Amino acid sequence: MVVINTEVYKSEDVFGISRDLPLNYIIRKDIDSLFTDSLKRKKHVVVFGSSKQGKTSLRKKYLLETDAIIIHCSNKWTLEDIHVNILKRAGFEITQSNKKTSTGKYKIVAQLKAMFSPLVSSSLASEVDKTNQVEVTTQPLELDPEDVNDIISALKTMNFKKRVLLEDFHYLNIEAQRDFSIALKAFHENSDISFIIIGVWLDENRLTIYNGDLTGRVISVNADKWTPDELKEVIEKGESLLNITFAEDFKTKLIENSFDSVYIVQEACYNVCRENGVLETQENNKVIGKDTNIQQLIRKIVNQQSGRYNDFLTKFGDGFQTTVLEMYKWILYPLITSDSNVLERGLRYSDIRHIIQAHHPRGTELNPGNLTQSLKSVASLQVSKKIQPIIIDYDETNLRLSSEE
């Protein structure tokens, strides 16, 4: 194999989990084109999928940080906190007012301070010497932080044009997600502001379930989908950058046993590079991975999170509180006993019900309504138990329970 680029790259910047866009990023025709097309339209975009499947890399590839304000959600936030953080990142200084809203909460005072040169356009202001700049302070705005109309009005006063990117949307509790889904319709109807929402879940219609009025106003991008050919391209691009060649048998078995997870592929390649002393681009092509035990390697990668999964089983099984039916403990039963191929496709509601009724003490007398309600709450239970990112999710549209990783 011939080195495509004479530059020297570190293996940790090519394979494995990186804070930056991985150097071996490849374009997935369906996913990347849908995302880039969505950015051209005045609709909100939701990027969803399992953890470590390329959601953040996708937005880093096509969205400059100067084109958006980036907000990382917290599990302690309410709708008010989301709104306040949008204003802060947009450039407002926020203080508390001594006046209260109709709900009894204190209003906020938002004041915009901007530095610009009176001699040049705002787009060139950052390049002008500070001595030529003046500080312009707008009149303070007294706002209700829960009222989306107040937030929209404030952003309009500064002619806000950037997108708003909400990372880790799944960290928000379910109530905050529902409340923001309602606010999102107002942003669409009453402003030109577009949101990009990134979250760990598998339900394409998650936000429209929370608010049916978002149908047609939100474009969903499933970043979870990786084909065998795309995973192979990830490996081969890394080979070119590091001037190495993975044994064909290694590549074939790795892709076959990766559960379509780009995370497992990346980590496996990184581990093999380290084991063979490949820390950076090789001067002469090096063949590696020939004698690697794929099953053992993947098990090692998965076991790195064994503590997290054990913690999940305990906390999830306990449910919100102690109940006679112990539905959350029984929901785990079909997940633990089903074949991995079945879990990959997602467990259908009918199969879950039949399996549980066949083993639950109540048997066929078990009320299906109890199971349905519990399945709808699997995400909120994990959030309340601080299991982040969530491990299992229920798709209310397709009636399937799926594992996130």
Q: In this predicted model, what pLDDT tens digit does every residue of 65-77 receive, in sequence order? A: 889 999 999 989 9
Host H or E run for residue 72? strand 68-72
User: 363: left (phi > 0), else alpha (psi -120 to 50), else beta?
Assistant: left
| 119 has a pLDDT exceeding 50 | no
| E runs forming strands in 79-172 | 92-100, 106-116, 134-137, 141-143, 163-167
One-letter amino acid at 44 equals H
pLDDT tens, residue by residue, 154-172: 999 999 999 999 999 988 9
Does residue 394 have a pLDDT over 50?
yes
- Residue 341 is predicted with a pLDDT of 77
**What is the CATH architecture of 29-222?**
3-Layer(aba) Sandwich (3.40)
Distance (Å, rounded) from C-alpha 396 to C-alpha 376?
7
> Which pLDDT band holds residue 392 (cuts at 50, 70, 90)?
confident
How distant, in Å, are the alpha carbons of 24, 33, 202 from that of 241? 8, 25, 33
pLDDT given at position 1:
43
Q: What is the mean pLDDT of the chain?
A: 88
Measured distance CA(73)–CA(95) in Å, rounded: 21
Q: Is the pLDDT of residue 78 over 60?
A: yes
> 106: helix, coil or strand?
strand
Q: Please determine, for residue 308, whether its predicted confidence score (pLDDT) is greater than 90.
A: no
Residue-level pLDDT at 380? 85
pLDDT at 136 > cutoff 60? no
Compare 274 and 18 and report the one with higher pLDDT.
Answer: 274
Ramachandran bin of 176, using left for φ above 0, alpha for ψ from -120 to 50, beta for the remaining angles: alpha
Say how far residue 290 (Cα) sits from the centre of its chain: 35
CB atoms within 10 A of CB 353: 17
133: confidence class by pLDDT, cuts 50, 70, 90? very low
Torsion sign over Cα 275, 280, 284, 289: positive
Q: Residue 138: which pLDDT band, with cuts at 50, 70 and 90? A: low
Which regions of 275-386 does DSSP assign to beta strands (E)?
Answer: 286-288, 347-348
The residue-averaged pLDDT of 116-144 equals 51
For residue 56, pLDDT over 50 is answered with yes
pLDDT for 284 beyond 50: yes
pLDDT band at 116 (very low <50, low <70, confident <90, very high): very low
| 367-395 core/surface letters (b: 16 or more CB in 10 A; e: else) | eeeebeebbebbbebbbebebebbbbbbb
Angle value at C-alpha 69, between 45 and 92, nearest 5 degrees: 130
pLDDT for the residue 54: 93
Where along the chain do its domains lie?
11-18+244-303, 29-222, 306-403
Residue 120 — pLDDT band, cuts 50, 70, 90? very low
**Residue 404: band (very low, low, confident or very high) from pLDDT cuts 50, 70, 90:** low
Q: Report the candidate in 369, 367, 394 with the shortest Cα–Cα distance to residue 381.
A: 394
40-44, 83-87, 280-284, 317-321, range with the lowest pLDDT: 40-44
Q: Give yes or no for residue 114 having a pLDDT over 70.
A: no
SS3 content of the chain, % helix, strand, coil (to 5): 50, 20, 35
Q: Of the ranges 48-57, 122-131, 180-189, which is most confident?
A: 180-189
Residue 397: pLDDT over 50: yes
Per-residue model confidence as pLDDT tens digits over 207-244: 998 999 999 899 999 998 999 999 999 999 999 999 99
pLDDT at 129 over 50: no
